[in-house]
Amino acid sequence: MLTRKQHELICFISDRLAETGVSPSFEEMKEALDLKSKSGVHRLISALEERGFIRRLPNRARALEILKLPERADAKPAVKAPPATPSIPAQIPIAANDVLEIPLHGRIAAGMPIEALEGQNMLSVPAALLGSGEHYALEVSGDSMVEAGILDGDYALIRRTDVARDGEIVVALVEESEATLKYFRREGAMVRLDPANRAYDPQRYSPDQIRIQGRLAGLLRRY
């Protein structure tokens, strides 16, 4: 059995997820349930978690997943919302305000190729910047992609893939030792890696010299 406040809170979270796909903030939950402080929200969430109604998703700030819903016949929703669906979707959308932790693998050249470093550091990234698939981050070194808006010190968010289409910005591993961030082009039997800076020349390689390690999915800049 849930208390009235616990019942109201899980209904509010469910309705908000169904309507927007975004987990409500603790401040929004406090106001919706007319509580005096956020500590009351924390206690309610902990109680719902202990009873197996919700769980907190790891590595995602403030993200909640609903595991089951109580009967809503006596529910008194805290806010007006569309009627609940009979069952919970198999997968609740990732909240737009989620933060994910992805591996940070050293620095990558946006000029001449440099050695691709593998590291154990992690980078916090807003989930809205990433799509489906597996991702990692690389710190940009150099200025050869400035005309594409990619600056020295930026973090390139890379979706893992081993294939690329003409015109995509990719991470290309050259001769299994050096990695670079460039536009990918096919030029006859050759592969051409184009910079986005007129001060640099394109780089041409045979296909067996190049291995695609990912394509650019987003960019993170710290000020």
Instruction: List active site positions.
Output: 144, 182
Q: Using CA atoms, how far apart are residues 116 and 9, in angstroms rounded to an integer?
A: 48
Give strand ranges (E) for 57-202. 64-66, 99-109, 114-115, 121-126, 135-141, 155-159, 169-174, 178-187, 190-194
- SS3 (DSSP) at 63: coil
- SS3 (DSSP) at 46: helix
Contact 174, 191 (CB under 8 A): no
98, 110, 77: which is closest to 179 by C-alpha? 110
Contact 168, 192 (CB under 8 A): no
The 10 Å Cβ neighbour count of residue 75 is 18
Q: At residue 103, what are phi and psi to the nearest 5 degrees?
A: -65, 140
Q: Hunting for tokens 């009967």 — which residue is that?
A: 71
